[in-house]
Chains A and B, each alone.
Chain A
Amino acid sequence: DSGVTQTPKHLITATGQRVTLRCSPRSGDLSVYWYQQSLDQGLQFLIQYYNGEERAKGNILERFSAQQFPDLHSELNLSSLELGDSALYFCASSVATGSKNIQYFGAGTRLSVL
């Protein structure tokens, strides 16, 4: 158990809908990262938050947004969903930011858009 909690584990929805994925980081971790993993692909970095503020953006679509709350949990919002958004979405957390801060991953949310 990495200590990073993601809910829900599975999500099935229809095209055009909006969903929210939730992540609770490990106790004491200030940084949260979101990744997308499509079938048989590697991990694509989406966005990072550090202590409530957006720190970096990767390949995140405009239809997607995220935030980190004062209690440090984070939510990833996906709107106007398309079939191609079906993927595993992972949250990771680290103590701080920078190359020596190891990211620990949650078990992921599997999103299926029908």
Chain B
Amino acid sequence: GQQLNQSPQSMFIQEGEDVSMNCTSSSIFNTWLWYKQDPGEGPVLLIALYKAGELTSNGRLTAQFGITRKDSFLNISASIPSDVGIYFCAGTSGTYKYIFGTGTRLKVLA
């Protein structure tokens, strides 16, 4: 099925470092979502973006809706061990149907 291109696929970082990941699409989207999934759990919504250029924060997390409307970015500042997990982006062009990215697996080294 159709998926977004999410990068990096995985990353190991030291505790305290900042993290950046992004998601790109071949289609224009009007909503972007970022989810985090812990092992054995369902995805949990982190941030929702509705407007091109929008920058939204949730604690140490900041996400941006790309100006082209074909990409989105998620930054995590000062990472901590509990940031470990899989981060998914999801986008839609205005219908019910969200397309999910392939995920970025984050591992934090204490």
Contacts and interface: CB of A to CB of B under 8 A. Distances in A.
A55 B102 CA distance: 25
Interface of B is mostly: loop
Contact of B1 (A2, A59, A99, A107): A59
Contacts of A68: none
A11 to B, nearest CB: 14
A43 interface: yes
Interface string A26-68: 0000010101000001111100101000011011000000000
A105 B92 contact: no
Q: What's the interface size class on B, roughly? A: 20 to 34
B50 A43 contact: no
Interface residues of A, number: 32
A70 interface: no
B65 interface: no
Contact of A106 (B1, B42, B92, B100): B42
12 contacts: A2-B44, A42-B3, A42-B102, A43-B88, A44-B1, A97-B96, A99-B31, A99-B50, A101-B96, A103-B98, A105-B43, A108-B40
Interface of B: 1, 3, 30-31, 33, 35, 40-45, 48, 50, 88, 90, 92-103
